[in-house]
Amino acid sequence: MRPPRIRGRLGLGGSLSAPAQGPPSASPRWDPAQYAQFRRERAQPFYDLLARIPDCDARAVADLGCGSGELTRELHARWPKAEVWGVDQSAEMLAGATSLPARARLSFVRSELRAWQPERPLDLIISNAALHWVPDHAQLLGHLVRLLAPGGVLGVQIPNNREEASHRILEELSAAEPWASRLRGVQGPQPIASAAWYLERLSHLGLEAQAWETIYYHRLPAPSAIVDWLKGTALRPALAVLPEADARDFESALRERIAHAYAQGPHGVIFPFRRLFFVARAPFAA
């Protein structure tokens, strides 16, 4: 049985402090094992998004920011007659996707999300926890809408946890010396707009849309587990560019600050995580 296809090679990223605009640049190396440490918690928003996708006879489906591909396979199982593409920039994450048994009509593509062009108009685009790495969402939404077939559906979930103590501490630490000069120009998650902004933008593009936010309250064993969570995502850019000794010192400083911010209880700590969702449908052909 032939392995899934992988095509293309482009960059992806955004700035820790810049607004959501500007050119893409190279993303950090991802650690699939670190990311998968909280597999269940990271997957739940995908299933919650999928539950809100309207009925559609999807024959062409894309998972943008597919990572290691397990959830892309869930899409393939739900729409077994569809051609399904999983798209991601990370070679490390895609290595996990292509190591699983091949399936007919399932392909994985290495590409920046804004650069990938499908072979046909898409009936369904899903993006779970990926678009906060892509700058300029006004331009991005226009691009994604142009990929949709008449009546096509766009379903998106974006982490929106910048106001949580963990993420504020990471940004403050990154902005303080000696780290600020060492991390200058490091690329990471972008700020995202409000739910109202996405609704207005999607309406302007001619789609019927709904948006909502959910806060997931994750019970973790200790404050140190919050740093382990961040090491799978938001902390990756800093750790990727710092020399090994500096990376250990940076992580140690972050762990100390996180421990002060999150009280250890008899059952661990509660880690709130806010996520923004929207689902939009293109007009059907006249």
**Is the distance from CB of 277 to CB of 52 less than 8 angstroms?**
yes
Tell me the C-alpha distance between 189 and 17, whole Å. 9
Per-residue pLDDT at 27: 56
Tell me the C-alpha distance between 174 and 169, whole Å. 8
* Cis peptide bond prior to 191, omega within 30° of 0: no
Share of the chain above pLDDT 90, in %: 76
pLDDT digits 0-9 by tens, 238-251 = 999 999 999 999 99
The alpha helices in 147-286, defined as continuous H runs, are: 165-175, 179-182, 195-204, 223-231, 236-241, 244-261
Per-residue pLDDT at 97: 85
Q: In the chain, what are the domain boundaries? A: 32-281
Which pTM does this prediction carry?
0.87
Which CATH code for domain 32-281? 3.40.50.150
Tell me the C-alpha distance between 103 and 84, whole Å. 10
188-215 average pLDDT score = 95
96-115 average pLDDT score = 88
